[in-house]
Each structure stands twice: as C-alpha cells, then as structure tokens.
Structure 1
Amino acid sequence: MVKLLCENFELELKEAFRFCKGLQVPREYEGKIIYPNMAKEFIAYLDTQGFFTNQKCFILTDKCKDKNRLLYLTAVLNSKMNFWYFKHIGATLGANGYEMSKIFVERLPVIETHKIDSKLLQEIEFTAEQILESKTQSYNTQNSADSMQGKSHPRDNLPCGNGAVALMGSRGIVKGEKGENKSENLPLAPLTKADETIHFEKNKKQDCDTKTLESHLNSLIYQAYGLNEKEINLIESELSTRERENRNN
C-alpha cells in the first residue's frame, strides 16, 4: 500500500506533508497563559506545550520568553486578591458566573516584576512552580491508578491525539501536559451521579494536596502588593462568604 501511494500520489503526498508542517505550533506559542471567557472564578492556565484554543478562551504571551515571568503572572491571576478585584470590575453572568473579557482583564493591576523585591519575586515563582508540579504529579498518579483498575471514563480520554490535559484546582496554578490518546473513537457517554462524585473527590484531593502552598502563595501576593492586615481580612472574608454561598446553592 505504501509503495502504491508513493508511486502514484507523490505530488499529493508532498502537498499533504507541507500542509501538516504548516500546522506545527511555532515555538513562540509554547509559553503562554490561557484563561476562559466565562467561569465561576478567575482561572488561568499555564501552557508550556504550545496548544491552541478555541474562541471561548483568551491567551497571554510574554515576548521575552521568560518562563518565570509567566509563572509570576499566572500566580497573580489565580490569586485571591486578583479575583476579589475582578469581582468589582468584571461583568457578572447569572448568580455565580463572570465574563472575563479582554476589556476587564486589561484593567487588572499587575505589578511589573522589576518593582518587586527580587527575593520575594523568586519565592513567588518557586511556590508557583511547586504547585504546578504537585498538581501535575497528583493528576498523573491518579490517572495511572485509574487506568490500571479500569476506571477510566470516555470523557476523561477524549480522542484528541497528543492533546492537552488541563490540571485545574480552586485558586491553583494550572499547566498543560501532553498525553497519549487511549480511547480512539470512544462514544461520549453521559456522566452518571457516581461519575460526578468520583470526579469531585479527585479534584478535592488535588486541592488538599496544594492547599498549604496556595495559601502561602496568596500571602506572598498580598505582600508584593503591600496590603495591610485590614485589607487582607476584607478579601479573605468576602471570598469565604462567597464560597459558602456556592456550596449551599
């Protein structure tokens, strides 16, 4: 079959390979932050694999290609302080949703790195990296255990080739990872109540694994912005109240 194709469709094959090469992700897109257009809280994904997204998401890039700069910005965007501020300037969607359009995000007060104490900046970046690595390891470990026990769900392994696997936690750092496609042409079965419970417990465990680190990172962000105790308590109190309301709804 290969010989037949090469002998009779040489020009077509060359054109196909040129087309595929054109679809390769340029290296300048391998470091970027992705955030959704609509969500219940401000969530930023740190993508280091160069994936594309659809029209329901936005991307932020850094021309200097400094990985640590992206870590810092991801940490700020995922912080409690940023979400509290965004709640006061962003558009609401229903009772609990927010629209994170560019016109709102570009108004967020992000302090430039050269204005932050170098040791504090390094600690922010280091803590963000720890959270990222912890969530990645936790996700991969859980997926491996589920695969060995035959617990994988078609929705967990969509036929997407070397696609992105999103690691997402409440107020956490997020990263894109490449994974093998293990479920080609599997039907997308509806989630049952048991599936939802298992998914919730997995996310809860991942959140607990990084809860201390996330709390420390929020404290570092407060320090970088020079917030006093009264201002910090105001943010923590408002967000805690909102979390309780969401659990009751």
Structure 2
Amino acid sequence: MLRCVFRCLRTNPTAGQRGMSQSSLAGKVAIITASTDGIGLAAAQALGRRGAHVVVSSRQQANVEKAVALLKSQSIQVTGTTCNVGKGEDREKLVQMTLEQCGGIDILVSNAAVNPFFGNILDSTEEIWDKILSVNVKAAFLMTKLVVPHMAKRGGGNVVFVSSVAAYQPMLALGPYSVSKTALLGLTRALAPELAHSNIRVNCVAPGIIKTRFSTTLWENDDIMDEFKRQLCIKRVGLPEEIGGVIAFLCSEDASYITGETITATGGMSCRL
C-alpha cells in the first residue's frame, strides 16, 4: 500500500503539496472582536496582510477610528464600528453592518475578554462570575451562533477563539478568568464536530504572557516575570504579532485539516489539563 502511495507521489509531485497561494485570504471577510489593540489588532493586521477585509471593533469610538486609520495606512481593507460583545444588540449590529458593507462573513476571531477581578478566588462574587462568564464565554458562543448561517451560505468558514495559557495553568489571583479561558477549550471541542458539516472549522489559540495592555500587571511585575521565565524555553514575553500569525494560519487553507484543536503559543511553557 505505501509503495503505491510513494510511486504516485514520484510520478505526480503536486499530489503531495499545496500551492503557495493556499495561504491567501483574498476575498474573505473577517470579524475580529476587541480588535483595536493588542492581540486583536495583531490578528486584524495578519489577516489583512493576507488579503482579507477585516472588520474591527471596540467599545470606544476613538479606539476604532485609531485602529482603522492605522490599518488603512498599511493598505489593509478595513471597516470599523463600536461593539460591546456583552450586549446582544451590539453583537447583532456588528454582524448586520458586516453583511451590509462587506457582503458576507467568512471568519470570526473571538478575542473579547474581561477580567474585573484580581485576588483570592474565594473572594470573588457572583457578580464577578456573571460578568466574566458572560463576556468571555457566553458572548463568544452567541457571536458564533450569529455568524454560522452566513458562513454556511458562502460554503464554509473559520472560527477562532482566543483563550490563554491560564486555561491550562490557572494563574494566582486570576481564578475566575482562568476558568473562563478553560471553558473556551471545551467550547472549541463541542462546536467543531457540529459545524464540520457546514465546512466550518473551529479552533482555539492559547497565548502565553503577551506584551499587551490587558496583561500589563503581569509583564511589568519583575517578580511575576522571573517566576514565569523559569517555566519558559524562550526566555521573554511574547509579542501580539506572534499570536496574530497563528490565528491567520488557522484561518488559511494551510490549516484545512485542523479543527477542534487549541494551539498553545506560550514560549515553551508546559501546558496540559
């Protein structure tokens, strides 16, 4: 059997490789939530450089305008709007605007997250849990539910959830946040088999300590970083661009046989549940 396969590859070398153009996202429309800064903006840049029309959003209009101007200066097709993903009307507005201005939806990068609590997990309140789970988990699912019919109309698509290394190794003082990020790993696994029938792939990225405004309290603290660096193979903080590239890969045809997976991009920090 294997000899037959190898003989086929020798006589038809293109059978075993994909064209370089497979990484192109030209003609695709990508919604990225919380995308005016940090990992979200880096994802918009990575997808846009590969030809996608990116739709960026944030709760603040000034942040949206700044991101749109930056992306346009980089010759990226971009549309922007305000959106608080924790509000159903904002999620629906984001999807409807994308359909009206871009004609469809092919990619969703669910990046929005909140962390209103820092401390002992037993000191966290019901209100804190409601806020974290509502934005970090429930809104990610409901955004997916909104875009899936429109992806199916275009023959398929990609959903990428942005989780965290904290999903595998809950961080001290970030207990509820860590639990919400673990939930995204399960959501990825639960959605992938159901959406595969519509040619929609669902994957997840779990970044390590990345130099963003959101994680400032971690990477600006020398004691915390010294402890993290002992766990790292690559002895430095990661950059948003290094996560944006992983997201773009998962949305490309180069990843066409990958679904239901979480890629950890942690600088070599050990990750397991």
Judge same fold: TM > 0.5, yes or no: no
TM-score by length of 2: 0.25
TM-score by length of 1: 0.27
